[in-house]
Structure 1
Amino acid sequence: MSSGVGVNDNCLTEFQVIKLGKKYRYVIYKLSADNKEIVVDKTGPIDSTYDSFTAELPEAEPRWVVYDFEYKLDEGGQRNKLTFISWSPDDAKIRPKMLYASSRDALRRRLDGIALEIQGTAFDEVSYEAILDKAKRSAR
Protein backbone atom coordinates (compact mmCIF):
# COMPACT_ATOMS: atom_id res chain seq x y z
CA MET A 1 0.00 0.00 0.00
CA SER A 2 1.33 3.42 -0.88
CA SER A 3 0.27 6.74 0.57
CA GLY A 4 1.25 8.76 -2.50
CA VAL A 5 3.76 10.95 -0.65
CA GLY A 6 6.85 12.13 -2.47
CA VAL A 7 10.49 12.02 -1.40
CA ASN A 8 12.22 15.39 -1.20
CA ASP A 9 15.48 15.42 -3.23
CA ASN A 10 17.40 16.49 -0.12
CA CYS A 11 16.61 13.06 1.42
CA LEU A 12 18.63 11.35 -1.29
CA THR A 13 21.40 13.96 -1.16
CA GLU A 14 21.86 13.46 2.59
CA PHE A 15 21.72 9.68 2.13
CA GLN A 16 24.62 9.89 -0.32
CA VAL A 17 26.55 12.00 2.20
CA ILE A 18 26.19 9.29 4.84
CA LYS A 19 26.80 6.44 2.37
CA LEU A 20 29.71 7.81 0.36
CA GLY A 21 30.93 10.88 2.20
CA LYS A 22 30.89 9.33 5.68
CA LYS A 23 30.18 12.79 7.10
CA TYR A 24 27.18 11.79 9.21
CA ARG A 25 26.50 8.95 11.59
CA TYR A 26 22.76 9.12 10.92
CA VAL A 27 19.98 10.87 9.01
CA ILE A 28 16.48 11.04 10.50
CA TYR A 29 13.58 11.47 8.08
CA LYS A 30 9.99 12.55 8.73
CA LEU A 31 6.84 13.54 6.89
CA SER A 32 6.45 17.23 6.07
CA ALA A 33 3.86 19.24 8.02
CA ASP A 34 1.34 18.81 5.19
CA ASN A 35 2.09 15.04 4.92
CA LYS A 36 2.84 15.38 1.19
CA GLU A 37 6.52 14.53 1.17
CA ILE A 38 9.31 12.92 3.15
CA VAL A 39 11.94 15.38 4.35
CA VAL A 40 15.16 15.35 6.38
CA ASP A 41 14.44 15.96 10.05
CA LYS A 42 17.96 15.82 11.53
CA THR A 43 21.47 14.63 10.83
CA GLY A 44 24.04 13.46 13.35
CA PRO A 45 27.76 14.21 13.09
CA ILE A 46 30.09 11.29 12.39
CA ASP A 47 31.36 11.35 16.00
CA SER A 48 27.83 10.91 17.44
CA THR A 49 27.30 8.11 19.92
CA TYR A 50 24.49 5.61 19.60
CA ASP A 51 22.95 6.99 22.80
CA SER A 52 22.92 10.52 21.39
CA PHE A 53 21.14 9.15 18.30
CA THR A 54 18.42 7.33 20.27
CA ALA A 55 17.90 10.47 22.34
CA GLU A 56 16.89 12.22 19.08
CA LEU A 57 14.04 9.75 18.42
CA PRO A 58 10.69 11.18 19.52
CA GLU A 59 8.87 9.11 22.14
CA ALA A 60 5.46 9.47 20.50
CA GLU A 61 6.07 10.18 16.80
CA PRO A 62 7.20 7.87 13.98
CA ARG A 63 10.39 8.47 12.01
CA TRP A 64 12.67 6.70 9.56
CA VAL A 65 16.42 6.59 10.06
CA VAL A 66 19.51 5.60 8.14
CA TYR A 67 22.25 4.83 10.66
CA ASP A 68 25.86 3.98 9.76
CA PHE A 69 26.27 1.21 12.33
CA GLU A 70 29.87 0.35 13.27
CA TYR A 71 30.69 -2.78 15.23
CA LYS A 72 33.44 -5.34 15.82
CA LEU A 73 33.16 -9.00 15.01
CA ASP A 74 34.06 -11.47 17.74
CA GLU A 75 37.11 -12.37 15.65
CA GLY A 76 38.22 -8.73 15.89
CA GLY A 77 37.33 -7.29 12.48
CA GLN A 78 35.68 -3.87 12.21
CA ARG A 79 32.47 -3.62 10.17
CA ASN A 80 29.94 -0.99 9.07
CA LYS A 81 26.37 -1.62 7.99
CA LEU A 82 24.00 1.01 6.70
CA THR A 83 20.89 0.32 8.73
CA PHE A 84 17.36 1.47 7.89
CA ILE A 85 15.20 1.87 10.99
CA SER A 86 11.43 2.29 10.89
CA TRP A 87 10.60 3.91 14.22
CA SER A 88 6.91 3.70 15.12
CA PRO A 89 6.59 3.95 18.90
CA ASP A 90 3.67 2.34 20.68
CA ASP A 91 2.71 5.74 22.12
CA ALA A 92 2.29 7.36 18.68
CA LYS A 93 -1.22 8.17 17.49
CA ILE A 94 -2.81 5.68 15.09
CA ARG A 95 -3.18 8.00 12.07
CA PRO A 96 0.52 9.00 11.92
CA LYS A 97 1.55 5.38 12.43
CA MET A 98 -0.60 4.29 9.50
CA LEU A 99 0.64 7.14 7.30
CA TYR A 100 4.29 6.37 8.09
CA ALA A 101 3.76 2.65 7.49
CA SER A 102 2.13 3.26 4.10
CA SER A 103 4.80 5.82 3.10
CA ARG A 104 7.84 3.78 4.16
CA ASP A 105 8.45 2.11 0.80
CA ALA A 106 8.47 5.45 -1.05
CA LEU A 107 11.66 6.29 0.86
CA ARG A 108 13.14 2.81 1.30
CA ARG A 109 13.05 1.97 -2.43
CA ARG A 110 15.19 5.03 -3.19
CA LEU A 111 17.98 4.12 -0.74
CA ASP A 112 20.42 1.71 -2.41
CA GLY A 113 22.99 0.02 -0.22
CA ILE A 114 21.02 -0.65 2.97
CA ALA A 115 22.40 -3.77 4.69
CA LEU A 116 20.02 -4.10 7.67
CA GLU A 117 16.40 -3.21 8.29
CA ILE A 118 14.97 -2.79 11.77
CA GLN A 119 11.44 -2.04 12.91
CA GLY A 120 11.10 -0.57 16.35
CA THR A 121 8.08 0.22 18.48
CA ALA A 122 10.02 0.57 21.75
CA PHE A 123 13.52 1.77 22.59
CA ASP A 124 14.71 -1.75 23.51
CA GLU A 125 13.98 -2.86 19.93
CA VAL A 126 16.37 -0.22 18.57
CA SER A 127 18.98 -0.52 21.32
CA TYR A 128 22.64 -0.84 20.37
CA GLU A 129 22.62 -4.46 21.56
CA ALA A 130 19.55 -5.34 19.45
CA ILE A 131 21.11 -3.85 16.30
CA LEU A 132 24.48 -5.46 17.09
CA ASP A 133 22.87 -8.87 17.43
CA LYS A 134 21.12 -8.55 14.07
CA ALA A 135 24.27 -7.17 12.40
CA LYS A 136 26.41 -10.06 13.64
CA ARG A 137 23.82 -12.63 12.57
CA SER A 138 23.68 -11.14 9.06
CA ALA A 139 27.47 -11.23 8.77
CA ARG A 140 27.54 -15.01 8.87
Structure 2
Amino acid sequence: MERASKRQRLPASAPLRKAADSITAYNDLKLNKKYKYIIYKLDDANKNIVVDSTSEDGDDYESFRDKLVNATTKSKTGAVGKGPRFAVYDFEYQLASGEGTRNKITFIAWSPDDAGIFAKMLYASSKEAVKSALPGLAAELQANDQDDIEYESIIKVVSKGTAA
Protein backbone atom coordinates (compact mmCIF):
# COMPACT_ATOMS: atom_id res chain seq x y z
CA MET A 1 0.00 0.00 0.00
CA GLU A 2 1.33 3.42 -0.98
CA ARG A 3 1.56 6.26 1.51
CA ALA A 4 -1.31 8.68 1.11
CA SER A 5 0.82 11.74 1.65
CA LYS A 6 4.43 12.60 2.06
CA ARG A 7 5.67 15.22 4.42
CA GLN A 8 6.92 18.29 2.68
CA ARG A 9 10.15 19.78 3.83
CA LEU A 10 9.64 23.29 5.07
CA PRO A 11 12.39 25.86 4.90
CA ALA A 12 14.24 26.58 8.12
CA SER A 13 12.45 29.15 10.22
CA ALA A 14 15.56 31.27 10.58
CA PRO A 15 17.62 31.49 7.38
CA LEU A 16 20.41 33.35 9.10
CA ARG A 17 23.76 33.12 10.78
CA LYS A 18 24.96 34.96 13.82
CA ALA A 19 27.95 37.04 12.84
CA ALA A 20 30.93 36.59 15.14
CA ASP A 21 30.85 40.23 16.23
CA SER A 22 27.27 39.72 17.48
CA ILE A 23 28.38 37.06 19.95
CA THR A 24 31.54 38.98 20.90
CA ALA A 25 29.51 42.11 21.66
CA TYR A 26 27.09 40.11 23.82
CA ASN A 27 29.96 38.59 25.80
CA ASP A 28 31.42 42.08 26.25
CA LEU A 29 28.09 43.22 27.70
CA LYS A 30 27.53 40.16 29.87
CA LEU A 31 31.00 39.35 31.13
CA ASN A 32 33.01 42.54 30.78
CA LYS A 33 30.25 45.13 31.37
CA LYS A 34 31.63 47.03 28.37
CA TYR A 35 28.16 47.97 27.10
CA LYS A 36 24.82 48.82 28.67
CA TYR A 37 22.97 47.72 25.54
CA ILE A 38 23.38 46.18 22.09
CA ILE A 39 20.96 46.58 19.20
CA TYR A 40 21.04 43.85 16.56
CA LYS A 41 19.60 43.83 13.04
CA LEU A 42 19.46 41.60 9.99
CA ASP A 43 22.00 42.59 7.36
CA ASP A 44 20.83 43.88 3.97
CA ALA A 45 20.81 40.34 2.54
CA ASN A 46 18.64 39.15 5.48
CA LYS A 47 21.13 36.33 6.13
CA ASN A 48 23.15 37.44 9.17
CA ILE A 49 22.45 39.00 12.53
CA VAL A 50 24.84 41.91 12.94
CA VAL A 51 25.42 44.59 15.55
CA ASP A 52 23.52 47.73 14.60
CA SER A 53 24.74 49.81 17.55
CA THR A 54 26.06 49.58 21.09
CA SER A 55 25.97 51.94 24.03
CA GLU A 56 28.60 54.62 24.33
CA ASP A 57 29.84 56.37 27.45
CA GLY A 58 27.10 58.60 28.77
CA ASP A 59 24.27 56.86 26.90
CA ASP A 60 21.12 56.52 28.97
CA TYR A 61 17.92 54.58 28.47
CA GLU A 62 16.39 57.39 26.39
CA SER A 63 19.17 57.21 23.79
CA PHE A 64 18.63 53.43 23.57
CA ARG A 65 14.87 53.92 23.19
CA ASP A 66 15.37 56.60 20.52
CA LYS A 67 17.58 54.25 18.50
CA LEU A 68 14.89 51.57 18.56
CA VAL A 69 12.05 53.95 17.71
CA ASN A 70 14.01 55.48 14.81
CA ALA A 71 15.35 52.21 13.38
CA THR A 72 14.72 51.75 9.68
CA THR A 73 14.90 48.90 7.22
CA LYS A 74 14.68 48.49 3.46
CA SER A 75 11.83 46.55 1.93
CA LYS A 76 12.31 44.14 -0.97
CA THR A 77 11.41 47.01 -3.30
CA GLY A 78 14.07 49.24 -1.76
CA ALA A 79 11.67 51.50 0.13
CA VAL A 80 12.86 52.59 3.57
CA GLY A 81 10.47 52.36 6.51
CA LYS A 82 10.26 51.55 10.22
CA GLY A 83 12.40 48.59 11.12
CA PRO A 84 12.28 45.80 13.67
CA ARG A 85 15.32 45.09 15.82
CA PHE A 86 16.54 42.72 18.51
CA ALA A 87 18.13 44.31 21.54
CA VAL A 88 19.82 43.28 24.74
CA TYR A 89 19.79 45.72 27.66
CA ASP A 90 21.47 45.28 31.04
CA PHE A 91 18.83 46.77 33.35
CA GLU A 92 19.93 47.83 36.82
CA TYR A 93 17.31 48.69 39.42
CA GLN A 94 16.96 49.27 43.15
CA LEU A 95 14.85 46.84 45.14
CA ALA A 96 11.85 48.43 46.87
CA SER A 97 12.73 46.47 50.02
CA GLY A 98 16.00 48.42 50.29
CA GLU A 99 18.07 45.24 49.95
CA GLY A 100 20.29 46.65 47.21
CA THR A 101 20.40 46.62 43.44
CA ARG A 102 19.85 43.94 40.83
CA ASN A 103 20.90 43.58 37.21
CA LYS A 104 18.87 41.71 34.61
CA ILE A 105 20.09 41.16 31.07
CA THR A 106 16.92 41.51 29.03
CA PHE A 107 16.16 40.51 25.45
CA ILE A 108 13.81 42.87 23.63
CA ALA A 109 12.19 41.97 20.32
CA TRP A 110 11.20 45.35 18.85
CA SER A 111 8.72 45.01 16.00
CA PRO A 112 6.78 48.25 15.59
CA ASP A 113 3.22 47.90 14.39
CA ASP A 114 3.93 50.20 11.44
CA ALA A 115 6.94 48.23 10.16
CA GLY A 116 6.64 46.34 6.88
CA ILE A 117 5.05 42.91 7.02
CA PHE A 118 8.02 41.15 5.38
CA ALA A 119 10.46 42.63 7.90
CA LYS A 120 8.21 41.69 10.82
CA MET A 121 7.90 38.12 9.53
CA LEU A 122 11.68 37.78 9.13
CA TYR A 123 12.35 39.03 12.64
CA ALA A 124 9.60 36.89 14.17
CA SER A 125 10.96 33.75 12.51
CA SER A 126 14.52 34.58 13.61
CA LYS A 127 13.81 35.43 17.24
CA GLU A 128 14.35 32.00 18.79
CA ALA A 129 17.61 31.46 16.90
CA VAL A 130 18.95 34.77 18.15
CA LYS A 131 17.90 34.12 21.75
CA SER A 132 19.49 30.67 21.72
CA ALA A 133 22.83 32.24 20.76
CA LEU A 134 22.71 34.54 23.80
CA PRO A 135 22.99 32.42 26.97
CA GLY A 136 22.16 33.97 30.32
CA LEU A 137 19.21 36.17 29.41
CA ALA A 138 17.13 36.87 32.52
CA ALA A 139 14.03 38.31 30.87
CA GLU A 140 12.37 38.71 27.49
CA LEU A 141 9.98 41.31 26.14
CA GLN A 142 8.04 41.69 22.92
CA ALA A 143 7.55 45.38 22.11
CA ASN A 144 5.30 46.64 19.32
CA ASP A 145 4.74 50.30 20.14
CA GLN A 146 6.45 53.09 22.03
CA ASP A 147 4.46 52.47 25.22
CA ASP A 148 5.91 48.96 25.35
CA ILE A 149 9.45 50.35 25.66
CA GLU A 150 8.83 53.01 28.29
CA TYR A 151 11.40 52.55 31.04
CA GLU A 152 8.83 52.20 33.84
CA SER A 153 6.89 49.55 31.92
CA ILE A 154 9.97 47.47 31.27
CA ILE A 155 11.36 47.73 34.81
CA LYS A 156 8.03 46.56 36.18
CA VAL A 157 8.21 43.42 34.02
CA VAL A 158 11.95 42.80 34.44
CA SER A 159 11.89 43.22 38.23
CA LYS A 160 8.58 41.35 38.60
CA GLY A 161 7.32 44.30 40.63
CA THR A 162 10.21 44.39 43.12
CA ALA A 163 11.85 47.61 41.83
CA ALA A 164 11.67 50.79 43.88
- TM band (smaller chain): over 0.9
Q: Secondary structure at the match of 1:21?
A: coil
Q: Given that residues 111 and 120 in structure 2 are in contact (C-alpha distance below 8 angstroms), is that contact kept between their aligned partners in structure 1?
A: yes
| Aligned sequence identity (%) | 46
After superposition, residues 29-44 of structure 1 pair within 5 angstroms as 29-44=40-55
Alpha-carbon distance in 2 for matches of 1:49, 1:112: 24
Output one character per residue of 1:59-86: Cα deviation in whole Å (capped at 9) or x when no partner.
4210000000111110121111000000
Q: Structure 1: where are the runs of 5+ without partners? A: none
Which one of 73, 81, 96 corresponds to residue 74 of structure 1? Answer: 96
Q: Which residue of 1 aligns with 2:120?
A: 97
After superposition, residues 58-137 of structure 1 pair within 5 angstroms as 58-59=69-70, 60-76=82-98, 77-137=100-160
Normalized per residue, the structure richer in helix is 1
Output one character per residue of 1:67-122: Cα deviation in whole Å (capped at 9) or x when no partner.
00111110121111000000000110000000010011121101011001000001
What is the RMSD computed on CA atoms of the aligned residues?
Answer: 1.7
Normalised by the length of structure 2, the TM-score is 0.80
Normalised by the length of structure 1, the TM-score is 0.94
Q: Given that residues 23 and 46 in structure 1 are in contact (C-alpha distance below 8 angstroms), is that contact kept between their aligned partners in structure 2?
A: no
Q: Secondary structure at the match of 1:114?
A: coil
Q: Secondary structure at the match of 1:33?
A: coil
Q: Which has the higher contact order (CA 8 A, sep 6+)?
A: 1
Which sits farther off after the overlay, 116-125 or 46-55?
46-55
Q: Structure 2: where are the runs of 5+ without partners? A: 1-11, 71-81
Which sits farther off after the overlay, 37-46 or 91-100?
37-46
Paired residues in the alignment total 140
